[in-house]
Amino acid sequence: MTFKSRGEGCGIAGRNDFVFPERITLGHHVHIEGGGYFNGQGGLTIGDHVIFAPGVAVMTSMHRYKGATMIPYDEVDLLRPVTIERFVWVGMRAMILPGVTLREGTIVGAGAVVTKSHPPGAILGGNPAVQIGTRDMAAFQAMVDSGRFYLKLKQEQGLRKREVLDPR
């Protein structure tokens, strides 16, 4: 499969559907789990160090129904690019709709349907997705400045997962 561009250290696990891959740009150290659907028709840009859990859908086009000449929609595809900035984590079965920008450091919760853009470091959940929290951006920036990038460290240093019981 040929993407518009694909950075170093990208990993695509399992089976995913990439529609118009020649319009999809993948940054460095992007990881995509299986079962995803990525529609690049309207243009899809994915920044460095982005992680997609299984079953994520990203849409960059939609059917025209307002002003359509047929029912339920007509032959016109409305294109709206999607941009996913650096250090974004998208949870299982989340959906990103056309025209959205996921700003740097955003976390999208499992099953969320993101219909609009939010500020950097937003933690999103629900349908439609709303901001349910914000990352500690000072701590986030300190990790960025010191190069603490999970996928890169995992690839370069063999970083392994640890299990710790959540005290909540």
107, pLDDT greater than 90:
yes
CATH number at 54 reads: 2.160.10.10
88, pLDDT greater than 90:
yes
Residue 146 lies in a domain: no
Residue 152 lies in a domain: no
Residue 25 lies in a domain: yes
Q: Give the tokens for residue 16.
A: 């995913």
Distance from CA of residue 150 to its chain's centroid? 16
What average pLDDT does the segment 91-106 reach? 99
Work out whether the CA dihedral 88, 130, 95, 33 comes out positive or negative: positive
- Provide the residue range defining the domain that includes 71: 5-135
- Quick check: is 63 catalytic? yes
What average pLDDT does the segment 135-150 reach? 94
Flag whether the pTM goes above 0.75. yes
The answer to whether the beta carbons of residues 19 and 41 sit under 8 Å apart is: yes
CA distance 41 to 62: 10
- Exactly one of 28, 31, 49, 63 is catalytic; which is it? 63
As for how many domains the chain has, the answer is 1
- Provide the β-strand partners of residue 51: 31, 89
The answer to whether the beta carbons of residues 84 and 96 sit under 8 Å apart is: yes
Phi-psi category of residue 40: left, alpha or beta, with phi > 0 → left and psi -120 to 50 → alpha: alpha
Residue 168 lies in a domain: no
Lowest mean pLDDT among 97-101, 117-121, 124-128, 152-156: 152-156
pLDDT tens, residue by residue, 24-60: 999 999 999 999 999 999 999 999 999 999 999 999 9
Residue 149 lies in a domain: no
pLDDT at 152: 86
Residue 142 lies in a domain: no
